[in-house]
Amino acid sequence: MSESINPFEVALKQLETAAKYLDLDSGYHQILANPKRVLTVSLPVKMDDGSIRVFTGFRSQHNDARGPCKGGIRYHPGVTIDEVKALSMWMTWKCAIADIPYGGGKGGIICDPKHMSVGETERLTRRYAYMISDIIGPLTDIPAPDVYTGGKEMAWIMDTYSIVKGNFVQPEVITGKPLPLGGSLGRNEATGRGLAFTVREAAKKLHINMHDATVSVQGFGNAGQFASKLVQDQGATVIAASDSKGAVFNREGISVDALVKHKQETGSVASFPGSKSISNDELLEMDCTILIPAALENQITDSNAKNIKAKLVAEAANGPTTPEADDILYKNEIMVIPDILANGGGVTVSYFEWLQNLRREYWTEEEVNNRLDKNITKAFLDVYDTHQKFNIDMRKAGNVLAINRVVEAMKLRGIWP
Ligand code: GLU
């Protein structure tokens, strides 16, 4: 993440812009500018060498007008309270766009999971779960995976929560769980799959033939890998990909399966056979049809936006483009499928997982994928219609649509007392 850009300021700026289009009452604007609740927790952990280290964690609950707060938990050395607050606001918009009955939440711990043992990570995770256990719950706030967390951490959180809150199993308190604990088929691939569905719909609007399309992917983690695979299945050719250790390029095309295998074996996409090593800037500014930022925030900024050559930017990461960059891309007629739409497949299948847990019934992968397709295609078309109606870029359109849905719910509920 670029150190100088505060994601919460970006989120507030986006809210302000959308508020103008909606002629939003200043009271509602103020409510939405502040998360409903933010908890900071101090987490002592016994490290493997016998020492005690104290970590800091957060959980931000932005808004629950439409349903329980929902959103992931990230482990990263760069986590800040403002980042978590911004991400929780984006979750509120994301759930509203997907039209699923949730508000927005987000959690994070300042830590470096790549340099922690499994035991240390488990003790940290359980302590965090315990410390937030009074504000999360199946009907209040349902966490999920995010950057550098996954099924393993979700299982520990479910177990800790279940033990401290009545000692009976409560799978519906968290999503993104492993299958044997009530996880949903299709959840692991959901963010990438949802993104590929939005790319398919955008390609129709932009008259892009997927068989002629080339793709550059920044961030070859879970979302980046599945998104690449699925756009490749639609006919596109992936020509560049990166991770935190390097970026590779081959104009003739890179087999996604082979690159996934290479990364599994070596820990990185770097030195993939037959490819040329390139810089992160070269990857973002690649002459390609579709750019998929799937890493962290603030990657496309006012300093590089003018060099972006893709026709379509599909945001798998949260917050990869700054508002200044958005304006430049829009002027250059580059369509951005904003994060809160493009990566909404993850939380949508989290919703399906939660429904399955509450009903103690399980769906086939085909059913999950079909429902996801229907849901996210409708979300894309809703945002696209708003973009045409207001003559604004897709991000502003997504925000306008989402904020309108949230404010509608808040007005109907009223302000109490
Ligand atoms: N962390 C993911 C996101 O940013 C998933 C959230 C969820 O499934 O609740 O959308």
pLDDT at 3: 53
DSSP single-letter state for residue 157: H
Strands of 208-275 (E only): list them. Answer: 214-218, 237-243, 246-249
Per residue of the chain (417 residues), what is the pLDDT tens digit? 445 789 999 999 999 999 999 999 999 999 999 999 999 999 999 999 999 999 999 999 999 999 999 999 999 999 999 999 999 999 999 999 999 999 999 999 999 999 999 999 999 999 999 999 999 999 999 999 999 999 999 999 999 999 999 999 999 999 999 999 999 999 999 999 999 999 999 999 999 999 999 999 999 999 999 999 999 999 999 999 999 999 999 999 999 999 999 999 999 999 999 999 999 999 999 999 999 999 989 999 999 999 999 999 999 999 999 999 999 999 999 999 999 999 999 999 999 999 999 999 999 999 999 999 999 999 999 999 999 999 999 999 999 999 999 999 999 999 999
- Three-class SS of residue 282? helix
pLDDT at 1: 44
Query: Ligand 1 center to residue 191 CA distance, Å?
Result: 8
Q: 85, 106, 177, 263: which is the annotated catalytic residue? A: 106
Rounded to an integer, what distance in angstroms lies between the CA atom of residue 281 and that of residue 47?
38
Task: Outline where 99-135 has alpha helix (H).
Answer: 118-132
Check pocket membership of 346 for ligand 1, CB cut-off 6 A: yes
**Are the C-beta atoms of 343 and 223 separated by less than 8 Å?**
yes
Rounded to an integer, what distance in angstroms lies between the CA atom of residue 28 and that of residue 98?
21
DSSP assignments along 352-409, one per residue: HHHHHHHHT----HHHHHHHHHHHHHHHHHHHHHHHHHHT--HHHHHHHHHHHHHHHH
Catalytic residue list contains 378: no
Rounded to an integer, what distance in angstroms lies between the CA atom of residue 317 and that of residue 52?
33
For a mutational test of ligand 1's pocket, the pick from 91, 142, 175, i.e. the residue with the most ligand atoms closer than 8 A to its C-beta, is: 91
Measured CA to CA in angstroms, residue 308 lies from 187, 250, 293, 396 at distances of 31, 18, 12, 20
Query: Ligand 1 center to residue 184 CA distance, Å?
Result: 14
Check pocket membership of 337 for ligand 1, CB cut-off 6 A: no
Supply the residue whose CA is at minimum distance from atom 7 of ligand 1. 347
Rounded to an integer, what distance in angstroms lies between the CA atom of residue 387 and that of residue 201?
14
- Three-class SS of residue 150? coil
Check pocket membership of 347 for ligand 1, CB cut-off 6 A: yes
Query: Ligand 1 center to residue 223 CA distance, Å?
Result: 11
Ordered by where they begin, the domains of the chain are 32-178 (3.40.50.10860), 190-342 (3.40.50.720)
Rounded to an integer, what distance in angstroms lies between the CA atom of residue 179 and that of residue 411?
39
At 69, phi and psi to the nearest 5?
-65, 150
Check pocket membership of 343 for ligand 1, CB cut-off 6 A: yes
DSSP single-letter state for residue 181: G
Query: Ligand 1 center to residue 253 CA distance, Å?
Result: 30
The residues that bridge with 291 in the sheet, in sequence order, are: 216, 313
At 376, phi and psi to the nearest 5?
-80, -30
Q: Is the dihedral of CA 325, 326, 328, 329 positive or negative?
A: positive
**Are the C-beta atoms of 292 and 228 separated by less than 8 Å?**
yes
Helix axes 222-233, 190-206, angle to 10 degrees: 40
Burial per residue of 181-219, b for 16 or more beta-carbon CB atoms within 10 angstroms, e otherwise: ebbbbbbbbbbbbbbbbbbbbbbeeeebebeebbbbbbb
The pTM score is 0.97
Asked if residue 320 has a cis previous peptide bond (ω within 30° of 0), the answer is no
